[in-house]
Amino acid sequence: MKSTEPKKNDGGLIVRFLNRIIDAVLGALHLAKYKEQIMYLFVGGGTTVVDWIIFTILVFLLPDLSALPFFSHFPNAIEYTVAWAGAVLFAYWASKYFVFETAKKEGFSQFMKFVGSRVLTLILSLVGDFLLTGLLHMNEFLAKLIISVAVVIINYITSKLLVFNQKETET
């Protein structure tokens, strides 16, 4: 016998369980009112780790293409782009279910807004790579660190204002 209640899209049992633990810990520490900001720091940290792991693996696995015309100016374009894509997928999932908790809201259109807002940071990363690594010949990992700080700040602002805003009505 099928239930007539609409199926909840709340991330599943594990997500609900983790959110209950997070709520209990933050409540015990009297930090519940700062949950969004605290979770964004954790999710942002996790996203940064995903980004750095993919970037680092690709830096060591891919051949040096800097002798080619495009790559002489954007020496790590492939690494940044692939790392960005992996980080965006992780960040969307984690932000949706743990930071902004909008799991019951828009589906594909919300994802497309999220990806669209993150394109800005991909462009920032590539311009930063061009300036810091391509022109100034800075170490690619130091350049990535500098770029990552700007990216985290811009990602929070765009996610909060454009993608997971609370003005939307729940469905």
**8-32 pLDDT tens trace:** 556 788 888 988 999 999 999 999 8
Q: With cut-offs at 50, 70 and 90, classify the pLDDT of residue 101.
A: confident
- pLDDT higher than 60, residue 167: no
What is the DSSP secondary structure assignment for residue 76, as one 8-state letter? T
Least confident of 30-34, 37-41, 94-98, 166-170: 166-170
In whole angstroms, give the CA distance from residue 57 to residue 84. Answer: 13
pLDDT at 19: 87
What confidence tens digit (pLDDT) does each residue in 29-74 have? 999 898 888 898 898 889 989 999 999 999 999 998 888 888 887 8
In whole angstroms, give the CA distance from residue 20 to residue 14. Answer: 10
